Amino acid sequence: MPELPEVETVKRALDARVCGLDIVKVETFSPAMRTSLAPLSAAGLEGRRILGVRRRGRYMVMDLAGGKSLLMHLGMSGVLRVEPPSVPRRKHEHIFFHLSDGSALRFECTRRFSICEPCDCAGGCWPSALDKLGVEPLSEDFTADYLFGASRGHTGNIKNFLMDNSIVVGVGNIYAAETLFTAGVSPLRRACDLTSAEAEKLAVAVRATLEAAIRAGGSSIRDYRHLDGSEGSFSLQLKAYGRAGEPCPVCGTAIARITQSGRSSYYCPKCQK
Q: Give the residue numbers annotated as catalytic, written as ranges.
A: 2-3
CA distance 271 to 253: 9
Axis crossing angle, helix 196-215 with helix 144-151, rounded to the nearest 10:
120
Q: What is the DSSP string of 175-230?
A: HHHHHHHHHT--TTSBGGG--HHHHHHHHHHHHHHHHHHHHTT-B-SSS---TTS-
8 A C-beta contact, residue 203 and residue 141: no
Is residue 8 involved in binding DNA (CB under 7 A)? no
Is residue 191 involved in binding DNA (CB under 7 A)? yes
* C-alpha closest to that of 20 among 82, 100, 104: 100
Is residue 178 involved in binding DNA (CB under 7 A)? no
Which of 13, 129, 138, 258 is the binder for DNA (CB under 7 A)?
129
Please report, as residue ranges, which positions from 147 to 176 form the binding site for DNA (by CB under 7 A).
153-157, 160-161, 163, 165, 172-174
Is residue 2 involved in binding DNA (CB under 7 A)? yes
* C-alpha closest to that of 11 among 64, 96, 95, 73: 73
**Least CB distance to DNA at residue 229 (A):** 13
Burial group, residue 230, by CB count within 10 angstroms (0-12, 13-18, 19+): exposed
**Least CB distance to DNA at residue 112 (A):** 4
Which of 111, 138, 143, 211 is the binder for DNA (CB under 7 A)?
111
Which of 16, 261, 270, 273 is the binder for DNA (CB under 7 A)?
261
- The helix (H) or strand (E) run that includes residue 120 is none
Please report, as residue ranges, which positions from 220 to 249 form the binding site for DNA (by CB under 7 A).
220-224
Is residue 179 involved in binding DNA (CB under 7 A)? no
Is residue 10 involved in binding DNA (CB under 7 A)? no
Report the interface residues with DNA, using CB under 7 A: 1-3, 6, 57-59, 73, 75-76, 91-92, 110-113, 129, 153-157, 160-161, 163, 165, 172-174, 191-192, 218-224, 261-264
